[in-house]
Amino acid sequence: MKNHNIEPIRLAVFASGRGSNLESIMNNIKAGRLDAKIVIVVSNNSKSGALELARNNKIPAFHISRLQFETDESYVEHLLGELKKYDVQLVVLAGYMKKVPVKIIQTFKHRILNIHPALLPSFGGKGLYGKYVHEAVLEYGNKVSGATVHIVDEEYDTGPPVYQQCVPVLNDDTHETLAARILKVEHEIYPKAIQLFAEGRVTVLGHKTIIADPQTM
């Protein structure tokens, strides 16, 4: 629930693909449910729907890829420079297919979020993305799956969870039907998780996040 007494949190959204999570974050801001402003969108993929969506909404949007730079250092410095230039407070990964450089993770400690289409720590890690996640869930025979918003650390999908929600796995599910059911949940919980940061309600203690007033999540 939007709190009108707080300043919008300044978001960078990193996305590689179609950008439906970016769109849902934008819609929640427009609808007044999320105290945030997307100040920059970054993609490693010049053809991503996310860049197009951002540009159509007059949000600064940049194609930034390691391939454009001679060294790792110059790439990281450029990325970090953009985040500083736009005074970014929270980095939101929304289908970003590249590992975030360690220096950025350290600079934005506990201020980078990711969303994963399963209930971590199950069905996460390197290689478990997109349809591979849902295929693995179906093959294992799990009865529930879901989505997890978590803080990003140096590994794939291992940081502290912030928000999780389940969905049932149905007998006749395919990876497509399961993905669609979970995507709907992603679009609901990612804006809610970001709002918790906007309201300053998230504290990280070891691997746990403590959410203030969890009954109002």
Given 2, 8, 20, 86, the residue binding ligand GRF (CB under 6 A): 20
178's CB contacts (< 8 A; 6+ apart) are 134, 137, 138, 145, 167, 169
Q: Count the site residues for ligand GRF by CB under 6 A.
A: 13
Candidate list 4, 78, 110, 116, residue with the active-site label: 116
**From candidates 18, 33, 37, 175, binder to ligand GRF by CB under 6 A:** 18
- Residue 110 a catalytic site member: no
**In terms of Cα–Cα distance, which of 99, 94, 95 is closest to 79?**
99
- Regarding 95 and contact with ligand GRF (CB under 6 A), the answer is yes
CA distances from 82 to 63, 135, 139, 147, 156 (A): 12, 37, 42, 29, 24
Q: Edge-to-edge strands of the sheet including 90-93?
A: 61-63, 36-43, 9-14, 90-93, 112-116, 144-151, 161-168
Tokens 């929304």, residue?
Answer: 94
Chain residues 140-199 in contact with ligand GRF, contact rule CB under 6 A: 183, 186
CB of 9 to ligand GRF, least distance (A): 19
Which residues, numbered 34-73, are part of the site for ligand GRF (CB under 6 A)?
Answer: none
Nearer of residues 19 and 101 to ligand GRF, judged by Cβ: 19
Catalytic residue numbers read: 116
Which residues form the interface with ligand GRF (CB under 6 A)?
Answer: 15, 17-21, 94-95, 115-117, 183, 186
